Amino acid sequence: MRTVCAFVVSFLLASRVLALDLQVKDVRAAASIVQTTLEVRDVVPERFRKMLDTGNVLHLRLQAELWESRPVWDRLVYPAITRVFRLARAASGGDVSISDAAGSTSYAAGPNPLPLQLDLGNRDRITASQKYYVHAIVTLGTLAEREVDAAGDAVFGKESETNGLGSLGRLVFRTVLQVSDYLQSVTAETRSRKMAGSDLLK
């Protein structure tokens, strides 16, 4: 029985190591902006790595929020900040390119961990006497914009060839996909420790 329990614990720990993982490494008010540094571990889990190797584009969506901790209802300090990164294998089949609106970086292998910094908002909303924490979610998915279009074409016909009913169907279809975000995905969620506002403002 003890051997079985040890095996189960080892399996669970190994599964956790192999899964997408997110950690809040730092929160601070640099100059006039509150920033958080997040660390994504195992950015491309094994089953997604195979998709990447066969030419699929992956999207990594990172969302972070700063909350004020209160006795009854916590208060959202800023609207959620979201960044979306595009992951693709280079045409040569070697490097992995990770890009967003700010630019692109190539890696010989998927970075592990991947550090990311987000600006959350102006520091003037932070009160020294209150406590705060960061709530963050990261999602890795395989659905690309062109895949939405291809799936829509298969179901409703090409946009140039469809009638009003087909166009309506296409609109509903796209909306449903946007709500569900990804056809295949893995998500990790985390929350930082509670921090005094006075520490953030140092």
pTM, two decimals, is: 0.69
pLDDT at site 8: 35
Q: Are 107 and 96 in contact (CB under 8 A)?
A: yes
3-state secondary structure of 35: strand
Quote the tokens at residue 194.
């509670």
Q: β-pairing, 103-107 with 58-69? A: unpaired
Helix 145-156, helix 164-180: angle, nearest 10? 140
Reading the chain (202 residues) residue by residue, the pLDDT tens digits are 444 333 333 333 333 334 689 999 999 987 889 999 999 988 887 778 888 877 788 888 899 999 999 998 999 999 998 888 888 887 666 688 888 877 878 777 667 888 888 999 999 999 999 999 999 999 888 764 444 444 444 443 444 444 444 454 544 544 444 444 455 778 899 999 999 999 998 8
Q: What is the DSSP string of 50-110?
A: HHHHTT--EEEEEEEEEEEE-SSS-EE-SPPEEEEEEEEE-TTS--EEEEETTEEEEESS-
- Chain centroid, CA 32 distance in Å: 25
Quote the tokens at residue 108.
């010989």
pLDDT at site 166: 46
pLDDT at site 90: 73
Other Cβ atoms within 10 Å of 40 Cβ, number: 23
What span, in angstroms and rounded, lies between the C-alpha atoms of 200 and 36? 11
pLDDT at site 23: 93
- Chain centroid, CA 92 distance in Å: 27
Q: What is the DSSP string of 130-178?
A: SEEEEEEEEEEE---HHHHHHHHHHHH--GGG--HHHHHHHHHHHHHHH
